[in-house]
Amino acid sequence: MQFFVDTADVDEIRNLAATGLVDGVTTNPSLIAKSGRDFIEVIKEICDLVDGPVSAEVAATDHDTMLAEGRKLAKIADNVAVKVPLTPDGLKTCKTLADAGTKVNVTLCFSPGQAILAAKAGAAFISPFVGRLDDISSDGMALIDEICTVYSNYTDFETKVLVASIRSPQHVIEAAKIGADVCTVPPGVLWQLFKHPLTDAGLKAFLADWAETGQSILGN
């Protein structure tokens, strides 16, 4: 499974990238707005930090403007993946960009039927939002299971399932058990994956035992 980090915080991305855990980045207009910085500038800086796909979302809703925005975003760097909404105009834009060799991330997916449409339009990634489904008492992970099952039935579908709207480490674990290709994870959740009380307790005991020896691996 690949990990994309879901943020526009350049310092956070740089910190996480140093762990070797970041395979890509996803952003959206809301995340860019929180940064208070120029949109294009932020995307370019992020693309310089990671080798994998960096999703940059269009802001328009009509095909012609989405296409123009998508083409401009794609020129920022070779690893930009243009993000478009799962609407008729969004999928029309996806088809045009994909045919030209641009990776496209189709976002705001909430049903297997929508996921099928995105795959047929040539999407590189489909982003089902599990947390938002959970919020309305639906089963977000069941959607991931359904999409993975459908895609596995068709060898000509090359679209990767990118699990979005992740709220907890458990979402990541369940997505991995199902076999999703990618999880786009908020930095806080990614750091939570490191945590376990027995790891902390074990390290504390090891350090206490080592201190009693009075030794130093690096010497005096």
Residues 6+ apart with CB under 8 A from 94: 84, 104, 106, 118, 121, 122, 123
Radius of gyration of the chain (CA): 20
How many CB atoms are closer than 10 A to CB 47? 19
DSSP 36-92: TS-HHHHHHHHHHH-SS-EEEE----SHHHHHHHHHHHHTT-TTEEEEEESSHHHHH
Does the active-site annotation cover 34? no
Sign of the four-CA dihedral 93, 95, 99, 104: positive
Say how far apart CA 218 and CA 137 lie, in whole Å.
55
Q: Check if the beta carbon of residue 54 is closer than 8 Å to that of residue 81.
A: yes
Q: Out of 83, 92, 103, 177, pick the active-site residue.
A: 83
Q: Which residues are catalytic?
A: 83
